Amino acid sequence: MLGIEMKAKFSPKDYDVFAGLDVDKKHIDVTFCGHDQSLQSMKIPYSADHLLAYTHRHFPGQRVAFAYEAGPTGYGLYDQLSARGHCCLVVTPSMVPTAAGQRVKTNRIDSHKISIALRGGGLASIHVPSTLYRHLRHLVQLRDTFVRQKIAFMVRIKALLLIEGIDFPDDQGRWSLAVWAKLQAMDCPAPIRFKLDRLSSAARFAEEQARQTARELRRLCKAEKELDQSLKLVMSCPGVGRVTATHLLARIGDWRQITGGRQLSGFLGLVPTEDSTGDHIKRGSITRKGDRRLRAKLIQASWVAICKDSELRDFYTRIYQRNPKPVAAQKAITAVAHKLCKRIACILKEQRPYVLREASSRMEKEETATLQGTTRGRTETGPALPV
């Protein structure tokens, strides 16, 4: 996760004690480890005050670094420890080193493992998002939840009609206001009518909730000047609309954390896996890390982008022609999404809108032609040149 604050890289030599935390909703299993040996492990209530009181009592005057895995408890513990001036790392669970032969997993063992990895400098913290981007993320997730619920109820309506042998009002299976009206007026047995009405009501409720959430998202973005500016920049990219742009910003966080386009593509799982050794290079499918729903939205945005941007369309064509037909389109559009991510990172870092290359070239040609015409006019109508 990208975040809001630029922080110096963690260096174990700057600290004396390393606290590995395994956090659940009620307790914290903590292991304190020094540079030479493991000190002690215990379980305490889930409270930063209890944790810091124990730390100050047993390790007075020593520099303590904390680390715990990102999970359902969120960033509350991180906020409280950081507010007290302590170093705290929030790490991805999959990136914590684990012995291949280890078959026993407990909270105490996990806290000890995190503590040892923290002491060795083998942990990298995620970038914790600020409160603004956490709120944005909540609203984006809520909107997607209601949209998925609406789609699920619509699928159930079609399944009900299919199992009862009733034709769907639209031959192409499309939904419209006319279709909803026909479903409401459809003549069918009372139990079927009751179920159909309940499913239709639930689908309409989910649709209205998604609409209200979208309005709240729009209000939040307009209220924050920096967020509104970033949203406009991202939406200047061809194919990227408000839904994709807000979801992307919710996941990225502050654009100042972006170091390059490949970092953003890797964060979204759009870079290829690689298993290379020596001169042998082997690349596979994309890593599929990060938010899969956002990745799917970017793929859909890429299909629109190649229709509007001739440069991306030419790039899609080149990739398509280099691959076998069954997988050519999938690989080509994924490559376009990767390139689109790099361009989004560029416009956010440089804080300038996306400009189509064709439009830019056309404007340059027009300006050149106008300048040449003006020069010729001045030469023909102006005073004679000195001999």
Residue among 315, 292, 321 nearest 238 (CA): 315
180-213 confidence digits (pLDDT tens): 999 999 999 999 999 999 999 999 999 999 999 9
The answer to whether residue 326 scores a pLDDT higher than 70 is: yes
The answer to whether residue 6 scores a pLDDT higher than 80 is: no
Least-confidence region, from 116-125, 201-210, 252-261: 252-261
Q: Tokens in use for 151?
A: 């789609």
Q: What SS3 class is residue 38?
A: strand
The answer to whether residue 259 scores a pLDDT higher than 90 is: no
Distance between CA atoms of 28 and 167, rounded to whole angstroms? Answer: 57
96-110 confidence digits (pLDDT tens): 988 888 889 899 999
Give CA angle at 79 (351, 105), nearest 5°: 110
Residue 289's pLDDT band, with cuts at 50, 70 and 90, is confident
The answer to whether residue 2 scores a pLDDT higher than 80 is: no
The answer to whether residue 334 scores a pLDDT higher than 80 is: yes
107 neighbors 24 (Cβ within 8 angstroms): yes
Residue 353 has φ and ψ, to the nearest 5°, of: -75, 160
32-90 confidence digits (pLDDT tens): 999 887 778 999 999 999 999 999 999 999 999 999 999 999 999 999 999 999 999 99
176 neighbors 170 (Cβ within 8 angstroms): yes
The answer to whether residue 383 scores a pLDDT higher than 50 is: no
pLDDT reported for residue 261: 82
The answer to whether residue 148 scores a pLDDT higher than 60 is: yes
11-25 confidence digits (pLDDT tens): 999 999 999 999 998
Average pLDDT over residues 328-340: 95
154-185 confidence digits (pLDDT tens): 999 999 999 999 999 999 999 999 999 999 99
The answer to whether residue 353 scores a pLDDT higher than 60 is: yes
Average pLDDT over residues 335-339: 95
CB atoms within 10 A of CB 88: 22
Give the single-character DSSP code of 277: B
The answer to whether residue 367 scores a pLDDT higher than 80 is: no
CB atoms within 10 A of CB 321: 9
Distance between CA atoms of 341 and 322, rounded to whole angstroms? Answer: 22
Distance between CA atoms of 113 and 179, rounded to whole angstroms? Answer: 58
Average pLDDT over residues 220-226: 94
Task: List C-alpha distances in Å: 264 to 124, 255, 269, 342, 348.
Answer: 17, 10, 9, 7, 11
CB atoms within 10 A of CB 351: 10
The answer to whether residue 4 scores a pLDDT higher than 80 is: no
Task: List C-alpha distances in Å: 24 to 43, 65, 83, 102, 117.
Answer: 11, 19, 21, 22, 20
- What is the rounded average pLDDT for all residues in the chain? 88
More confident residue, 150 or 289: 150
pLDDT over 90 percentage in the chain: 72
pLDDT reported for residue 186: 92
Residue 8's pLDDT band, with cuts at 50, 70 and 90, is low
Tell me the residue length of the chain: 387
pLDDT reported for residue 283: 83
Residue 274's pLDDT band, with cuts at 50, 70 and 90, is confident
Domain boundaries, the chain: 12-119, 131-223, 235-274+285-350
The answer to whether residue 229 scores a pLDDT higher than 90 is: yes
Average pLDDT over residues 225-242: 94
Domain 12-119 belongs to what topology?
Nucleotidyltransferase; domain 5 (3.30.420)
269 neighbors 287 (Cβ within 8 angstroms): yes
Give 88's strand partners.
Answer: 66
Distance between CA atoms of 130 and 120, rounded to whole angstroms? Answer: 28
Orientation of helix 310-321 relative to helix 357-381, angle to 10°: 130
Q: Tokens in use for 27?
A: 């307790």
Residue among 321, 334, 325 nearest 285 (CA): 334
Region of residue 253 (phi > 0: left; psi between -120 and 50: alpha; otherwise: beta): left
187 neighbors 211 (Cβ within 8 angstroms): no
The answer to whether residue 374 scores a pLDDT higher than 80 is: no
CB atoms within 10 A of CB 71: 12
- Alpha-helical (H) ranges within the chain are 48-58, 76-83, 107-119, 131-163, 177-185, 190-223, 225-235, 242-252, 261-267, 292-308, 310-321, 325-350, 357-381
Distance between CA atoms of 135 and 233, rounded to whole angstroms? Answer: 20
In this structure, the strands spanning 17-23 and 64-69 are: parallel
| Location of structure tokens 């031959």 | 171
